[in-house]
Chain A
Amino acid sequence: MINDTAAKPHDAHRGHTVHYDPVAGKIGMWLFLFTEVLLFGTLFIAFAVYLQKYHFEFREASGHLDKVMGAANTVILLTSSLTMALSIAVLERAKKRLSLLLLTITILFALAFLGIKSVEWGAKFAHDLYPKSATMLQKPVGEQVFYGLYFTMTGLHALHVIIGAGIIMIAMVLVKKERTHAERINFLQNTGLYWHLVDLVWILLFPLFYLIG
């Protein structure tokens, strides 16, 4: 495997002399994703410990989240993962325009996700439910912890959705300019890995926050 990773001047005919090493690129991306796993992982451990400690308060607070909106957002992200994976698969077959179309759809799904998320957060804020609000401070400590973790974890996740959509836009520019193409697809593959991780985190967040009530 190591020998295969040696620099191959694929793009010499394009005037690029940049070293292209997709295996190293992919390993590097995975190492970065591992740090993301531990970032969210520590928050999941905090959730697990407080779920033990405040079991009834967590169930009570969880019952006040909108299951339908959470489920809708889950399906939206799953479908965006499908269009992301397909955009890579079609570019591997040199279908540039179809790949760009699928990436556009992926970004639209990301925006739809953020839209529903902001409606949910907006409804909580409208009911004076946010960390340290007057209503929140009168709730049992366990429910305050639940909402604290809810806003922290879904907020951090939403930030990842925003960053992911930004990276997809950069990938679209690279595909459009043919700096990323079938023979040089690592950037788009890494974009996909990031996007799927964002989906993966939501797959775990959704049942823990919405479905334990």
Chain B
Amino acid sequence: MQTEGKPQFDHALVPYGVYFKVWGALVLLTVLTVSVSYLDMKHVRVLTALLIATFKGSLVVLYFMHIRFEERMYAYMIMVVLATYAIFIGLTFVDYWYR
């Protein structure tokens, strides 16, 4: 990645086109999630909505929030937080189901 010889510490210039493509994908996914919500899906309704939302969220974190272009450390930090949150969810449901 180019740095144009500037004293950039940890940041490379990302081409504008990347942001436009990600935005386009996010808008299309929004249209998709609203469209499928009109279908009669019964059991997979919430799951489908969550899967599409997770994919959209990943695009925002990876490209808009630059995790794709940063050092790995930031991705590891996020994974630690998500793992902690997953444990939090797991313990809550164990408590709720077996109380």
Q: Which residues of B contact A203 (CB under 8 A)?
A: 53, 56-57, 60
- With A37-B85, A51-B46 in contact, is A207–B33 under 8 Å at CB? yes
How far is the CB of A211 from the nearest CB of chain B, in Å? 4
The reply to whether A1 and B10 form a contact with Cβ atoms under 8 Å apart is yes
Count of chain A to chain B residue pairs whose CB atoms are closer than 8 Å in the complex: 116
- Do B10 and A4 touch (CB < 8 A)? yes
Q: A183 CA to B47 CA in the complex, in Å? A: 44
Task: Please give the distance in Å from A32's CB to the nearest CB on chain B.
Answer: 12
Q: Is the CB of A211 within 8 A of B6?
A: no
Q: Which residues of A contact B53 (CB under 8 A)?
A: 203-204, 206-208
Count residues of chain A with CB under 8 A from any CB of chain B.
51
A89 interface residue per 8 A CB criterion: yes
| Choice from B27, B34, B81 contacting A67 with Cβ under 8 Å | B34
* 17 A–B pairs (Cβ distance < 8 Å), ordered by A: A1-B10, A8-B7, A37-B81, A38-B81, A38-B85, A41-B85, A48-B93, A75-B27, A75-B30, A78-B30, A81-B64, A85-B19, A89-B16, A93-B13, A183-B6, A189-B11, A203-B60
* Residues in A lying within 8 Å of B, measured CB to CB: 1, 4-5, 8, 10, 22-23, 26, 30, 34, 37-38, 41-42, 45, 48-49, 51-52, 67, 71, 74-75, 78-79, 81-82, 84-86, 89, 92-93, 182-183, 189, 192-193, 196-197, 199-200, 203-204, 206-208, 210-213
